[in-house]
Structure 1
Amino acid sequence: MHVPTLLALSAGSAVLASASPAPRGLPSVTLDQGTFTGAPAGLANKFLGIPFAQPPTGNLRFNLPVPNAPYTGAHDAGSFGPACPQQAAQLPVPPGIVSNVTQFIVETVTAVVTPFSEDCLTVNVWTPADVPAGAKLPVVVWIFGGGFEFGGTSMYDGGVIVSRSVEMGTPVVYVSMNYRLSAFGFLAGQEVKDAGVGNLGLQDQRQALRWVQQYIPAFGGDPTKVTIWGESAGAISVALQLLAHNGAAEGLFRGAFMQSGSPTPVGDVARGQADYDALVARTGCAPARDTLQCLRGVPFAALLAAVDASPSITSRQSLALAWMPRADGVFLADDPQVLVQQGRVADVPFVTGDCDDEGTIFALSNLNITTDTQLRAYLAEFFLPHASAAQLDTLLALYPADPAQGAPFGTGALDALSPQYKRLAALLGDLVFQAPRRFFAGERAGAQRVFAFLNKRLKATPGVGSAHGTDLLNVYGGGDMADYLIHFVVALDPNGPGLLSWPAYSAARPQLLTFLDGPVPLALSEDTFRAEGMSFVTELSLADPL
């Protein structure tokens, strides 16, 4: 079976190098006193691997990003720069599933990108090929996902979005950025909090957005018309950019589009102390008076090996990540869901949505959980360590062992890869994705314009259904979600000619634009499924954030 490719890994591996003046016919752009030569890409031109910050190496490792120096000289911008350091990941498809589609979905969600390097903070820009001088086009800024542990910009072809926007007669400029991942970008612990260097990956994203404000006019973009867009960890990042500095957008964006990611229930950065201490021990920094400074001097290969030895999203603890955004008192003042409750959210229109079976892929690493007792112990260990016995009883009653009520949803007794698989998949999907999305949309719908969606396509994918990440095929594969996205970037409203009308979300009528398989590809549905379960999950999460 042919699957539309999502990956567009570049053969180029070098970050910008000095080059002679642009050959005739190649696109070029002047930034400060530097000239950058890109490459044509159909209806678009692309400029790749442009540094937006100083290399985060040496004393800049585990430190806030420092803006790039003014550009000078001539540079080849025809190839992607390296990805940021990746944490090792492997989540094999169970041998009982024989499906190229399932394999493709799992490998895409857990894709480790090479080459990678600590010197990785670069942006990429795609523009319409015939963009006139002085044009002020809307801009969409993409933040990739990968569990905050892996992924990179070279996986995604921004030319698909720009070309489609040109075909629609509403051209846009596309930007993507790398940001530090895993412990390199999300180190946690009291030492990190005291030094004010939490959430460095989010800080990198913020610096890239500042770069857009300064330089996007040279590419024909309008810095006052920026929409931030992401999927998975990228969508969570977008949500957290809305909450940064107590909701101060700082003129960096005017809209947000989130696929499978909302403000997640996370606690203080000091809660990551155990993983920090383990990393310090593995690198030999434990005896040091200043362990954070010691980590800055550890050889890269040794530090990467120590990071790889820490739990990942494909480990047993799954979505209870070792390295993830947390409340640090600087970038994020509090638990993101508390910030939402308090209204400390950037006042911009946003789109938020999920896939129907978000938790399936993340339950694959726990097929050895086969009894109620084992599931209960697992949830208590990793996700709800302070929940009472009565609360766990209630949760398990709301998410019963009946396969017909588990994920993939609506598949009856099918896809029960182990006795507790579908139940755990339902719980993980609602804990981390569906319940936070409903909470976010419901809390904000009365205060700002909100649109919400549910992706139920590829439901027949063996074992995983409409899994996390499957909706990416509907944007980078040139589907109808790409059209909704482009309309939103242009007008802050996803509606446009030829598309099913998508109503704004409201507490009185919480409607979801629903993407379906079959002859009727789009419909409206009510965001009321698993109401009691998700309400209880949100209650538990607010009381006991990760």
Structure 2
Amino acid sequence: MRAVLSFAFQVLSTIIIFLASTGTCVQIAVSLTYTEYVGTALGNGVSQWLGLRYAAPPVGALRFAPPQDPPVYSEPQPAINHGNWCVRRPGKGLTSEDCLFLDVYAPTNATTDSKLPVFVFIQGGGFNDNANPNLNGTGLIKASSNSIVVVTLNYRVGPYGFLANRKQAVANNGLRDQRKALEWVQKYISRFGGNPDHVVLGGASAGAASVAYHMMADKDGKRKLFHAAAAESVSFGTVLTVDQAQYQYDNLVNRLGCASSDSAASLACLRSKSQKEIADKDSDIPYPGSSTAPIYMWSPVIDGDFVTDYPYSAFKTGKFTRNIPVIFGDDTNGGAGFAPSRISSLKDSNQFIKDNFPAITAGQLDTLNKLYPNPQASSCPSMGCWRGQAGSVYGEMRYMCPGLYLNDAFDHYNDRYQKGTSSWAYRWNVEDKDQIAAGLGVPHIVELNAIFGPSNIYYGGQVPKSYRPGGTNAAAVQVIQGYWVSFIKTFDPNTLRWAGSAEWKAWKSGDTAASARHQRLLFGTGGKTAMEEISRDSGLGVRCEFLQSIGISLWQ
């Protein structure tokens, strides 16, 4: 049987290789040092290799352990189906603990000498889920006229990726998975036509936060796993130390009957449990001193190794990868979908913020209440009448203001005289009538549908109808893809931007240093674009200045 399969793969490879151009073409069968993967030529100028192992299955003794090298297979492996994706709890879609897979999309006519720019995208999910698995890179490649390579990946989440223990369990394995994938790209992407010396790292939400963590981890710039970054809705959530996070570990082992004074024994007991047993007992619990569990409990922690500081502190002091071009941005109503409908009073709103940022003080909450008056107060008391206010605070505290802070940090620390080190900012304000009707406004990372293209989103929510071909916002898809492809290929979003779209000026730009202004690109409904200024004394400027000033004290 094995001989028959091997012969079948050889025949398939021969057929597709024949269809590809000759010479040193990236063939549908690609040999890596540990196996050969057989992908698919789609017939549209793009080939794909799905479900490539970049690390060993993190099961058994490797559960809660750093990622290890992938296993060696002597027979060719089919790369025609997406790999399992990582979730905290099984039961939806193709999920498993054995989930460390990535997908590669490349032009079919690329050669091993093509040295095409590479875009590596890290999905979000609050570090508790893989929220955007199986994103299809075909749309971006077609938008680039078949001149880039796209890589997407899965990584461990929940306790599997972010369990922390003082003595035994290595922390932040989800981030270590991502690094393992980036190292895989450095080692193998040339075999698919990509250039390991031209890698743009992308991500959304927790994936964008991951981009920031990789910048922090490579503060001396020696790893060089990426050379530019474009991140949507960078998330600065609460960051605990390993000691502070011990209560999460203790709670889990207690619920599973694994409690022991010997931490090695308790960890071994956790490894002996099935994924279902863990899922049945792994419920969110409040931070110590809070009343309700946070939206996302399992998260990166300060471990003194991969994560050595709070993000706000690291970027304030220049301890991050410098002198690379970056894009950071957010959506107008990024917090709208997170605040629960039960928030019906100022007290409820304050408690919601404290449940997610437990270090916040009463005085800081008082200031926030003044900075964020409730426009719906006249409708109170009624169910949810403070939900909008709470969502506004949460959205700017966790997403918008951290992103602008990163723009500031890169502007401050980058070598202004070194070409290709600019920092760009944006706001996605493309309105979809269904989302507006649902009270979401322009919600969290909705632009991901446009960046990859509305037909290339496999999972992770409903694609706005207006983004589809013929829709009122179809032009917005072309516009943002133009900027992104330009940035991926040239490290500048303007070089190849869509005809008629605005020149995207750097975050701090002007004719002279004295006249320099903070500006970001505004993506509008129907594909409209324009620059907007953010002054320090504007409403957003004042709010962000306060939130950024207390970020370290909030453990962000």
Taking the aligned partners of 1:136 and 1:417, their CA distance within structure 2 comes to 57
Decide whether the 8 Å contact of 2:141 with 2:150 is kept in 1.
yes
Unaligned runs of 5+ in 2: 17-27, 415-421, 454-476, 510-515
- The residue that corresponds to 1:20 in the other structure is 9
Say whether residues 1:48 and 2:82 are aligned partners: no
How do residues 129-148 of structure 1 correspond to structure 2 at under 5 angstroms?
129-148=108-127
Say which is worse superposed, 498-507 or 248-257, in terms of deviation: 498-507
What one-letter code is carried by the residue in structure 1 that aligns with 2:552? L
Where in structure 1 are there 5+ consecutive unaligned residues?
Answer: 1-16, 89-111, 405-411
Q: 1:154: how far off?
A: 4.0
Aligned positions of 1:121-160 closer than 5 A: 121-151=100-130, 154-160=133-139
Work out whether residues 117 and 489 of structure 2, in 8 Å CA contact, stay in contact via their aligned partners in 1: yes
Of the two, which has the highest radius of gyration? 2
Pick closer, same or farther for the CA change 1:265–1:381 going to 2, 3 Å: closer
Q: 2:306 aligns with which of 318, 331, 351?
A: 331
Can you list the C-alpha shifts for 1:251-296, whole angstroms capped at 9, x where unaligned?
2110111011155552423322222222111211113622223212
CA RMSD of aligned residues (A): 2.7
- Kindly indicate whether structure 1 or structure 2 has the higher relative contact order, using CA contacts under 8 Å at least 6 residues apart: 1
Would you say the 8 A contact 1:83–1:113 is kept in 2? no
Q: 2:267 aligns with which of 280, 288, 292?
A: 292
What are the superposed Cα offsets for residues 121-165 of structure 1, whole Å, 9 maximum, x if unpaired?
A: 111100001113421111000111111122266441111111221
- Give the Cα–Cα distance (whole angstroms) in 1 for the partners of residues 548 and 292 of structure 2: 20
Aligned partners of 2:249, 2:191: CA distance in 1, in Å? 42
Distance 2:149 2:482 in 1: 15
CA contact (8 A) 1:83 1:153 kept: no
Residues 49, 311 of structure 1: alpha-carbon distance in 2 compared, 3 angstrom cutoff: farther
SS at match of 2:281: helix
Q: Of 87, 90, 94, which aligns to 1:85?
A: 87
State the AA in 1 paired with 2:137: G
- In the other structure, the counterpart of 1:252 is 225
- For 1:7-406, list aligned pairs within 5 A: 20-23=9-12, 24-26=14-16, 27-32=28-33, 34-41=35-42, 42-70=44-72, 72-87=74-89, 114-151=93-130, 154-166=133-145, 171-188=147-164, 191=165, 193-195=166-168, 197-248=170-221, 250-262=223-235, 264=237, 266-287=239-260, 289-290=262-263, 291-307=266-282, 309-310=283-284, 320-347=295-322, 348-363=324-339, 366-387=340-361, 389-403=362-376
Distance in 1 (CA, whole Å) between partners of 2:92 and 2:448 is 17
Deviation at 1:488, TM superposition (A): 0.8
| Cα distance in 2 for residues equivalent to 1:62 and 1:325 | 14
Q: What displacement does 1:228 show?
A: 0.7
Asked if the contact 1:113/1:151 (under 8 Å) is kept, the reply is no
Check the 8 A contact 1:263/1:440 in 2, yes or no.
Answer: no
Deviations 1:370-420 (A, max 9, x none): 112232233334324341x3322111111112239xxxxxxx99xx97210
* Structure 1: distance between partners of 2:409 and 2:99: 37
**Post-superposition offset of 1:238:** 1.1
Say which SS state the counterpart of residue 161 (structure 1) adopts. helix
Query: Could you tell me which residue of structure 1 aligns to residue 523 of structure 2?
Result: 515
Deviation string 1:74-132 (CA, Å, 9 cap, x unpaired) is: 110011111113347xxxxxxxxxxxxxxxxxxxxxxx851111111111100001113
Alpha-carbon distance between aligned partners in 2 of 1:454 and 1:37, rounded to the nearest angstrom: 40
The residue type equivalent to 2:353 in the other structure is L
Deviation at 1:342? 1.2
Matched residues in 2 for 1:152 and 1:174: separation? Answer: 18
Aligned twin of 1:6: none
Task: Please give the alpha-carbon distance, in whole angstroms, between the structure 2 residues aligned to 1:204 and 1:55.
Answer: 11
The one-letter code matched in structure 2 to 1:377 is Q
Counterparts of 1:243 and 1:260, CA distance in 2: 17
Judge conservation of contact 1:505–1:512 (CA < 8 Å) in 2: yes
Q: What CA distance in whole angstroms lies between the structure 2 residues aligned with 1:300 and 1:196?
A: 17
Are the aligned partners of 1:228 and 1:238 in contact in 2 as well (CA < 8 Å)?
A: yes
Q: Is the 8 A contact 1:358 1:433 kept in 2?
A: yes
Q: Give the AA of the match of 1:21.
A: Q
2:395 is aligned, of 429, 453, 456, to 429
CA displacement at 1:221 relative to structure 2: 0.7
Which amino acid counterpart does residue 29 of structure 1 have in structure 2?
V
Please list every run of at least 4 consecutive aligned residues from structure 1 whose deviation after the TM superposition is greater than 6 angstroms: none
Contact between 1:246 and 1:333, CA under 8 Å: does it hold in 2?
Answer: no
Mapped partners of 1:248, 1:295: distance in 2 = 37
Find the counterpart in structure 2 of residue 441 from structure 1: 407
Indicate the residue corresponding to 2:533 in structure 1. Answer: 526
> CA–CA distance in 1 between the matches of 2:132 and 2:367?
42
In structure 2, relative to structure 1, the CA distance for the partners of 1:469 and 1:492 (3 Å cut) is same
Instruction: State whether residues 88 and 160 of structure 2, in contact with CA within 8 Å, keep that contact through their aligned partners in structure 1.
Output: no
Structure-1-length-normalised TM-score = 0.83
Q: Is the 8 A contact 1:43 1:166 kept in 2?
A: no
Query: Structure 2 counterpart of 1:379, which letter?
Result: I
Supply the distance in 2 between the matched residues of 1:437 and 1:346 (Cα, whole angstroms): 16
Query: 2: CA distance between counterparts of 1:430 and 1:195?
Result: 36
Displacement of 1:459 in angstroms is: 5.9
1:485 corresponds to? 484
Query: Which amino acid letter does the alignment assign opposite residue 521 of structure 1?
Result: K
SS at match of 1:20: helix
- Number of residue pairs the alignment of both structures matches: 487
CA contact (8 A) 1:379 1:385 kept: no
Question: Do 1:360 and 1:429's aligned partners in 2 also have CA atoms closer than 8 Å?
Answer: yes
1:152 to 1:383, Cα distance in 2 relative to 1, 3 A? closer
Q: State the match for 1:409 in structure 2.
A: none
Tell me if 1:474 matches 2:450: yes
Structure 1: which amino acid aligns with 2:448? L
Partner of 1:108: none
